[in-house]
Structure 1
Amino acid sequence: MNKDTYSAIRKNIMTALPKNTVTFLFSGMGVRKSADSEYPFYANRNFYYATGIEEPEAVLVFDKDNDQTILFLRDIDPNMEKWVGYFMKDIEAQVISGIEDIRYFSEFDAYVESVLARDVQIGLDFDHDTLTEAIHGSGISFADYVGEERVINIFEDIVSCRMVKLPEEVEAIKEAIEVTNQAILSSLEMMKPGNNENDVAARFLYEGNKAHGELMFDTILAGGKNATVLHYVENNNELHDGDLLLFDLGIKVNGYGADISRTFPINGKFTERQREVYQVVLDTFHAVNEAIRPGISIVTLNDLAKEYLAEGCIRLGLIDDPKDVSRYYYHSIGHSLGLDTHDVWLDRDAPLVQGNVITNEPGLYIAEEGIGIRIETDVLVTEESNEDLGPQIIREIDEIEAYLAK
């Protein structure tokens, strides 16, 4: 991603924003962990989407009627820089974001007062109904400061832009998927009976970090029955001969990440029962992949997945009535992907359009048999069909067993 891409993104946002509005996006503030320690800082994703900047206490302003974009950075504090690292300078921010008008926060109050003197509305980001707050010197929220009667929610305007990925965003996701693929292949070296789930997770993290990436989300490495818990993240149990190991993981590079699931036999060979269940999930995976196109919705894709999985569960002897498939498939077929793992989306019933990126992740979870299987890839909706962004990640039964036999 480069400044030209961020400039194009800001142009799209400016077009989507309502007239007679000055919009403020806040990067956010650090969160205390304990004592004098803080959690790693990640800027608000809408702020980052428009700037590419991971800097706390920054504010991005869109002045719609004047077609003006301003970025405010925290004032340079040489003493604090000795303790916590360098504060971002205006020149650096220009290089990353392409924004020309960059000011420091000491100028922010005066600027806000000049905006409030105009007959304009104040656009703020109510992300999932929670107002993103900028903590002023007095400790009150920015919405209170400017007057809530003037505030409008521009969250959906930005989401409408984020849902349609630019080609550069798609390339960033592809890069993250390839790093994820290589990290998976390396981590399979640690998948041996007697080892621990965490041995595999640690190798995956190491390989991702070595490629200058970081975890997109908490890694799930679930052996045996653990795989029937969708968000099992403890990763601390022994790997057993004859069990399966479910991987649900992803590496993030330059802000954009992958979300990939695979399921492997720990000893290198599927049992006959495991192979039967895996094939049902795989057939569903391929059917959904073929169905993704503009005009279809995520809800419709999920209905298709449930139909295939229900038929498979009947053949497997798990159910008699297709409605009972929810006993073994209890999540949706997918979600949007981008800067967030579950990226922003407006309506799962809405038809997909070119440029959407979604996941395809059917699964079956049979707790009484200790079998949990999920297969997931990331898919770009194209003009007439789709592009699987991760076809190189092994998923067919024979190719898995052949690779693990090496």
Structure 2
Amino acid sequence: MSNEQISLSAEYCRQRQARVCKLMEQLPVDRAIFVTHENIQYLTGFRPHRLMQAAVCIEATGECVLAAPNEEPADASVDQCVTFEAQWHCTLRQEQQQSALTALVEACGHLQSSIAVEGSVTGLHLSPTTLNSEHVIDLEPDLWQLRRKKDLDELQMIRRAIGCTDAMYHRAREIIEPGINELEVYNQLHAAAVEVAGEPLTALGNDFQCASPGGPPRNRDARDGELFILDLGPAYRGYYADNCRTFSVNKRPMDKQYEAWEAIVAVLEMVERTVKPGVSCRELFTQAQAMLDEFRPGAFFHHLGHGFGLFPHEAPHLNPKWDDTFAEGDCFTAEPGLYTDELKAGIRLEQNYLVTSDGVERLTNFPLEL
């Protein structure tokens, strides 16, 4: 796989801005302001450094204005860009958001009407007084729904992140054996992912523990007969992958471990046969739970999966706590698992899928074998 750098396209960024404008018309609001890194990237193609802030304004007219840290980026799909000082004499300022919003409001002008913001990050800097508006409306839940349908440029980013996991599993297959330390596995897998990404990762995630359902790597050696769960969530330029494989440390899985593996694979096969637009995620979870309970009731104790993209856990939720339905364009994971002491300590297998008009496309191709 080439590690040539890829980014979101200007064409699709403009299309996403237009969808936000349609949403603003329905609410209705005259202006929308965004400050979270993922939404700024989704709409403009520009992702600020993790320690720097930025802000974006979309007007009802369609005009898009960006307040960027320090200097104007070369890859932002906007109509106007203003800058603010995120650093003074190389020191990061802690009041960056306030400065970004001040620069943005000065560029856009005063607005004595309604404005939409991301409710989860609304604070004093985004108050009606600061924004010179009569009403502030939370646009975030609606934007989460817009982000479900992945555009082609987003899928390209996700496929690169999934390519990182493929390289990580190849490396894991080569190095996992009795006596290898969890930290060594983590370090070597990180290096394999960076080789594919061609640059530092936005995130690495998730689970790197042996003889455990999951957790960060420990200073612990893998032992003969144990199973090593690797739930990997590298992010390439903000876009996540999230898939899991389980490896037999001695490469000789016990009969009970293989029996559990077969039950989990059957659930994944059921998911691939069943999912299409309109299918209930809750009902799919219930069906998977019943299948895994045949191995041992209660041995599957977490969600069946979730959407992913610019955030590790997005809609749709394959989880009884939500009542979602699958829609065309969703990227989601399916991650059935079984966990008992006799399995030392469990098996989880996770695939990534894209919902198509009549089914799913599997995005992950590394073998499932223990």
Normalised by the size of structure 1, how large is the TM-score?
0.77
- Aligned mate of 1:53, from 46, 68, 85: 46
Task: Name the counterpart of 1:7.
Answer: 14
Mapped pair 1:151 → 2:147: no
CA-to-aligned-CA distance 1:83-127 (integer Å, 9 cap, x gap): xxxx3x32xx3x41221311234896486379785442021101x
Q: What SS does the aligned partner of 2:292 have?
A: helix
Task: Name the counterpart of 1:77.
Answer: none
Amino acid at match of 1:20: V
- Aligned mate of 2:337, from 357, 363, 382: 363
- Aligned mate of 1:131, from 121, 126, 130: 121
Q: What SS does the aligned partner of 1:280 have?
A: helix
Task: Name the counterpart of 1:38.
Answer: none
Mapped pair 1:69 → 2:78: no
What residue ranges of structure 1 are gaps of 5+ in the alignment? Answer: 28-43, 75-86, 134-139, 314-324, 401-406
**CA separation of 1:349 and 1:146: change in aligned 2, threshold 3 A:** same
What residue ranges of structure 2 are gaps of 5+ in the alignment? Answer: 1-7, 85-98
Which structure's residues are more often helix, by fraction? 1
Q: Identity of paired residues, percent? A: 23
Please report how far the alpha carbon of residue 277 of structure 1 lies from its aligned counterpart in structure 2 after TM superposition: 1.2
Mapped pair 1:292 → 2:279: no
**CA separation of 1:260 and 1:112: change in aligned 2, threshold 3 A:** same
The 2-side partners of 1:183 and 1:365 are apart by: 23
Amino acid at match of 2:291: Y
Mapped pair 1:141 → 2:97: no
Report if aligned partners of 2:240, 2:309 keep a CA contact under 8 Å in 1: yes
Please report how far the alpha carbon of residue 250 of structure 1 lies from its aligned counterpart in structure 2 after TM superposition: 2.6
Amino acid at match of 1:341: P
CA-to-aligned-CA distance 1:24-74 (integer Å, 9 cap, x gap): 1114xxxxxxxxxxxxxxxx212221122232232100111x221111224
Report if aligned partners of 1:173, 1:338 keep a CA contact under 8 Å in 2: yes
Task: Name the counterpart of 1:192.
Answer: 177
Report if aligned partners of 1:297, 1:348 keep a CA contact under 8 Å in 2: no
1:273-284 to structure 2, matched below 5 A, reads 273-284=256-267
Of the two, which has the highest radius of gyration? 1
Q: List structure 1 segments (4+ residues) > 6 angstroms apart after TM superposition.
A: 113-116
Please report how far the alpha carbon of residue 357 of structure 1 lies from its aligned counterpart in structure 2 after TM superposition: 0.8
Task: Name the counterpart of 1:379.
Answer: 353
Q: What SS does the aligned partner of 2:166 have?
A: helix
Task: Name the counterpart of 1:303.
Answer: 286
Q: What SS does the aligned partner of 1:335 have?
A: strand
Task: Name the counterpart of 2:301.
Answer: 330
Amino acid at match of 1:349: D
Amino acid at match of 1:189: E
Report if aligned partners of 2:242, 2:312 keep a CA contact under 8 Å in 1: yes
Q: What SS does the aligned partner of 1:358 have?
A: strand
Mapped pair 1:170 → 2:155: yes
Task: Name the counterpart of 1:25.
Answer: 34
